[in-house]
Each structure stands twice: as C-alpha cells, then as structure tokens.
Amino acid sequence: MKKKMYILTELLDGSFKGPDRQEIHSVSYDSREIEPGDAFICIKGEHHDGHLFIKQAIEAGAQTIVGTDKEVLDLSAADHPHLSFVCVKDSRSALAVLSSIVSGSPSDSLHTIGVTGTNGKTTVATFTHSILNSLSFRTGSLGTAGIWDDQQKTDFKQTVPTTPEAPDIHKVLKYFCEKKMQGAVIESTSIALEQKRLETIHFNVAIHTNLTPEHLEFHQTMDAYKKAKMKLFQQAAQAVINADDPLMAEDLIQTFKGPAITYGIRQPADLQASHIETTRTGTTFVLDAFGTKYSINAPVFGEYNVSNLLAAIAACHQVGFSIASILSVISHIRKPEGRFQMVEKKVPYQIILDYAHTPDALAHVLESVKQIPHRQLIVMITGIGLRDPNKRPLMAKVVESVADQIIVSVDQPGHADRQGVVNDVCRGFKQPTSPHIYTRLHREEGIHLALDLAGPGDVILLTGIGFGGYQIVGDKKIPYSELEVIDYYFEKQSLFKKPM
C-alpha cells in the first residue's frame, strides 16, 4: 500500500511536539485497536481518560498522539522524539478531522443525507435508502439497522448502537466510494452530533422527524437535547422538516438558511397527507405535493409511518428526483426489521414486533395496532436498564387504558437491577395490582407468557429493543434473537403435543 505523509500542522489547530509530518495509516480512539503507523486520539470518557493509554498505544505502534492534556503529552514527547504529539482544544473534533482526511474525505464525493429525531430515524433512513436504490441512485446507509451497501447489509462491525464513531463512519464512506456509490444515508443521533462524530460532513440533506423526551441520561435537559439535534442542520445545505412536530419544527423553519421542504399530516406543509386509511396490506392516503394531488397506496402501517414516508419522499426530491418518479417505486419499498413487523406463524392470532421504547413511540404504535380488528390486545412493554429511569413509568401510563393484557419486562439491563426496573415501570400504572398486569424479569419469559395468553382473534404486540441481535447484560453483549425466542416457544409446544 502507498504510504501517505500528512503535514499535521495543516490539519489540526494546536501545539505540536516532534516531527510535524507523519505517516498515518488509520485513526483510533482505542489503544487496544492500534496498529503500527496509526494515530491515537485520547478521549476523556465516562470511565477512563484515554491519555492513560498513550504508553500502550505507542507500544502497539502509534506514531501520532493527539490529546488535550498538554502536561501528559509533553512528558511522553520527551521520551519519544521521533513521534508526533499534538495538543488540541477538542479531541473528538480532531478525531473527526483526521478520520475524514485519512480516508480521503469520502463524504465530499457522496450525496449525504442525515436523519435526526427521537423516533423514526431508522424507518426514514430505510425508506430513503430503498427509494433511491429503486431509482438506480446507488446509495448505502448507516444506522441502527446496520451498515448497508446498495444491495444488502454488509459485515462491517458495529461498535456503537446507531451512529458509528468518526473513524468507522469514514471507513464505511470510503468503502461506498470504492463501490462507486452515489449516496449515503446516515442516521445522526443527538449523542453522535454532541460527540462530533459527524463534524466534518457537509450534508446535502438533513431530515428532521420529531423531538420528544429521550436520552436525558446523556443530555440532562430537553434544551440540550434539542440543541444537539439542531447541529445537523447547521452543517446541511437543504432540510426536510416535520411541520407536525411542536418542539422543533418552528425553530428549524425560522433558523434554517437553505432550501427546506416541510411535511405533515396535521399542519399545513409542502408535502401533506390526508384521508389516511388502513387496509389489509398497508395504508392509502392522498398526498398533496406542492399543490398537486396524488392517490397513494403504500405497504406501510400506522399514521406515523405515513409521516416517515413523507420525510423520505421529500429527501429524495431534494436529491433531485421528481415526485412522480419517487411515487412510482414506493409500492415495493423496503421496511426495517422490528418496526411494525408482522411475524408469519400459522396461529389464529397475530404477532407484531415493534421497536417502540419511548412513551411517544409506544403511543403511536398502539394507536395504529388498535386499528387492526381484534378480540384481546396483549402488549409487552419494557423498562430499559441502560436508559433514563424517568421514562419507565411513562411507558405504563401510555399502555394502561389501551391493552387488555399487559406484560412488563426488562430490556438491555446493563448493570441495572431487573426487579428495580420492573418496579419503576409499574409505578406508572393507576392500578398496578390489576389481574391483567403481569411482570417477568426476562424478556424471553415475557414473550412466552404473551403467547400463552393469546387466543383466536387476539393481537400480540411485543415492544422494546429486542431486535438489535443482542442484549447488554452487565458489560457483556449477549446474542439475542426475538424470532428465535418465538420459534422456540412453538417448537416446545409441538414437541409437547407429539404422541409418545
């Protein structure tokens, strides 16, 4: 491989020790991942200070060390005069800059579309990815549903739940460029925006879905959460804004400088849906796009998914496609796994999986599930060990008057006490001792109970973060598959029924 020298003083602002030119093969924020010729960026994290691992990084072959602690950097520099040390104001910013440069600034050669919002990012990203590829605009995507090229999910390792760290983002974008892709859809979480993972990307389009309380364990206040999301629009040329969102739409409309398209169901908007009706195969509605009306029949369920579809249509229009051509491909749009996913089983009741793990998402999915004719509605909700505990009782509040049978369980416990999480959720019920409320400490047990309770004509809705392929228990990622848990239930049943 051709070696590439970088003039560090041209790339970073800061004080320098050692050679100002350095070869950089790759960039990493983790000393355990360093290979010879890499740059190591010291991040002060929740548990460790990356500066403590400089020695380990140098032993592994790091040639460039970037951090914010001048004293520590100067001490190491004195011992390693042939290595480069840079003291910067902000390590995460330096991580983004170097990661992009070392990968050849791939985002400059791609049409980039960022999606932010509390709920709907994965769905909007998947719809946008699907429409653009159907229109032969070869596009990849990065987000909770994994890293996709234009055809399929790739093998890229995902070390962060949704928006990868800067070095990984740029490696993926470089790969997209090598595969001659034209676009990339990037789910842009508030945490990633706050941690500057996306800092160097000039987005062609930024999409807003909505803002409701979430991740307050990280941002602390709604204002800080909103500010983090607004950052995406400060680095974008065009915007797609959800006019129905009371918390962020007005600010975006007022402050966004470039061309913007609004979409909505309740408020007047450039793309507006009305006459929404659920059918057996999806939803029909009337789309008014810039004054022209279209009759739409889309294979998606739930009013909020109509909203998500409008966001994707608006973004694809901003990429350059006409509304008519976009509408010509939506009849076979791809939907993300675990979002209003109907499980195919030969049983006289219906099983739906949904990722709803915020009170707002749960309210929306319940509203849509209620439209399906049913006898009993059996709903499993969960408290998430790793997330804001204040959200837990709100999940109970949302479901109590809607479902006939409610099961409360635990998702992604991390280090949280399972019983404590369940108790937190149950505090939200008006009648926690109701015989229709059950608690199970493990998600698998909750699912099996829901299936035990189901009879002909019932609908089971299993909500929570059961679809990422793992559960975080303590510090460990334990492989987990929702479909396997369901399959196991039916396998057990068929064994039980077999004649001896």
Ligand X SMILES: Nc1ncnc2c1ncn2[C@@H]1O[C@H](COP(=O)(O)OP(=O)(O)OP(=O)(O)O)[C@@H](O)[C@H]1O
Ligand Y SMILES: CC(=O)N[C@H]1[C@@H](OP(=O)(O)OP(=O)(O)OC[C@H]2O[C@@H](n3ccc(=O)[nH]c3=O)[C@H](O)[C@@H]2O)O[C@H](CO)[C@@H](O)[C@@H]1O[C@H](C)C(=O)N[C@@H](C)C(=O)N[C@H](CCC(=O)O)C(=O)O
Provide the annotated binding site for ATP.
117-123
- 102-141 mask for ligand X (x: CB under 6 A)? ---------------x-xxxxx------------------
Q: Smallest distance, Å, CB 68 to ligand Y?
A: 12
If one asks whether residue 355 binds ligand Y (CB under 6 A), the answer comes out as no
> Which partner, ligand Y, ligand X, none, binds residue 119 by CB below 5 to 8 Å per kind?
ligand X
Contacts (CB under 6 A) with ligand Y, residues 101-160: 159-160
Say how many residues touch ligand X, by CB under 6 A.
21
Q: From 164, 174, 224, select the one nearest 198 (Cα to Cα).
A: 164
> Residue 188, interface with ligand X (CB under 6 A)?
no
Select from 139, 162, 182, 190 the one that contacts ligand X (CB under 6 A): 162
Rounded-to-integer distance, Cα 186 and Cα 289, Å = 25
Q: Give the residue, chosen from 8, 22, 27, 31, that forms a contact with ligand Y under the rule CB under 6 A.
A: 31
Indicate the residue among 29 and 285 with the shorter CB distance to ligand Y.
Answer: 29
Residue 209 binds which of ligand X, ligand Y, none (CB < 5-8 A, kind-dependent): ligand X
Instruction: Spell out, one character per residue from 40 to 69, where the chain touches ligand Y: x when CB under 6 A holds, - when not.
Output: ---x-xxxx-x--x----------------
Closer Cβ to ligand Y, 86 or 192, answer by number: 192
Contacts of 404 (CB under 8 A, 6+ apart): 376, 377, 378, 436
**Please, what sign has the CA dihedral across residues 457, 354, 276, 266?**
positive
In terms of C-beta distances under 8 Å and separation of at least 24 residues, what long-range contacts does 78-86 make, across chains too?
Answer: 80/18, 81/18, 82/18, 82/19, 83/18, 83/19, 83/58, 84/8, 84/16, 84/17, 84/18, 84/19, 84/20, 84/22, 85/16, 85/17, 85/18, 86/8, 86/12, 86/14, 86/15, 86/16, 86/17
Binding-site member from 191, 216, 343, 453 for ligand Y (CB under 6 A): 191
Does residue 161 bind ligand Y (CB under 6 A)? yes
C-alpha separations of 319 from 29, 140, 203, 255, 331 in Å: 34, 14, 11, 21, 20
**Mask for 190-209, x = binds ligand X (CB under 6 A):** -------------------x
Q: Is 262 in the site for ligand X (CB under 6 A)?
A: no
Q: Where are the alpha helices (DSSP H) in 341-463?
A: 359-369, 392-400, 418-426, 443-453
Per CB under 6 A, residues contacting ligand Y are: 29-32, 43, 45-48, 50, 53, 159-163, 165, 189, 191-192
